[in-house]
Homo-oligomer: A and B are copies of this chain.
Amino acid sequence: MRPTVHDIAAAAGVSLATVDRVLNKRAGVRKVTRDRVEQAIERIGYVRDVAAANLAKSRIYPFVFILPSGDNSFMRGLEAEVHAAMARGPLERMVISIVKVPAFDAEALVAALDEVRATAPAGVAVVAVESPEVIAAVNRLRADRIPVVTLVSDLAGSARDHFAGVDNVAAGRTAASLLGRFLGGRPGPIAVLAGSMLVRDHRERLDGFRAVMDEDFPGHTLLPVIEGQDDPVLTEKLVSEALAASPGTVGIYSLGAGNRGLIAALKQRKDAPPVCVIAHELTRHTRAALNEGLIDAVLNQDAGHEVRSAVRVLKAKADGAAVIGAQERIYIDIFLKDNLPFDEG
């Protein structure tokens, strides 16, 4: 049997209450006694049974997820995953709630963070927007010893405990590598479609993409980045214009969420010479395009993984427990039409 608090008490010659005070770092114990207890703990190799402790405390973990509102389909999928986590929360003594904030609005995000902080949750997950004020707000949470994980989009320079999302530089590098090899030496310029260069994720993807293109496939020139604001109509227009202006274009990297507009533009030039296309995020639109051969590969981040990972990390941090690094690394999934998963999307 694993040693219990009783064993510590016996080994140290004190009562349970004293052991408990030492274990929970509460005041009211002489240093001598404390040392004796701590040595006993060390000696017999005690590890606390968190489940029993939670039972005794009737502890529940109130976690808050702060997500952007709006009709971005990736974010809506993310929200659905949070709802799924919410549903199975009670089984593990967790109560998850969602706070929505207008997308890309730092000011609103700061307000939400401070409001959430006032409710003293056991942990907060947030899709970050980069700004000094947001960093400060996150740091206020941390100052209150509230664990914070950034979700999908990180917040460099903040004191967040963890980032649950993919390495976007690596994603861009992968895109370049695939595109370059798929083209197999066929010369011609490459177009890049982004949502906005104001978001960190998009910038990082572009950086990674550029680096590998320059290094490994210097024969291709990159056309000026198209910023479609992730808006279908605008994107379609800009892409069509760009392709018309550079008829020799052989490849497109769509690193943002503007795939609907991109696909529409591609469909209109069915009989034109083929263009190799790499896009991000597996949605029903990109999945269909993949199957039709309009898109050649999709790089995806699994929102379900990200949410479950965020929850696990928040709980671990709340318990002061260790995190399994490898388990929490979110991989970039590469989908071709031949390895699409069956039921999602």
Contact = CB atoms under 8 A, between A and B. Distances in A.
Given A173-B338, A212-B338, 16 more contacts: A1-B58, A2-B90, A51-B51, A51-B55, A52-B55, A173-B339, A174-B338, A174-B339, A184-B184, A208-B338, A304-B326, A304-B327, A305-B327, A329-B341, A331-B333, A331-B341
Nearest to A93: B51
Contacts of A1: 58
Interface size class of A (residues with CB under 8 A): 35 or more
Contacts of A341: 329, 331
Contacts of A321: 91
Contact of A177 (B90, B167, B337): B337
Interface of A: 1-2, 47, 49-52, 54-55, 58, 84, 88, 90-91, 93, 167, 170-171, 173-174, 176-178, 181-186, 208, 212, 296, 302, 304-305, 308, 321, 324, 326-327, 329, 331-334, 336-339, 341, 344
A259 B343 CA distance: 33
Copies of the chain in the assembly: 2
A184 B178 CA distance: 12
A103 B49 CA distance: 38
Contacts of A327: 304-305, 308
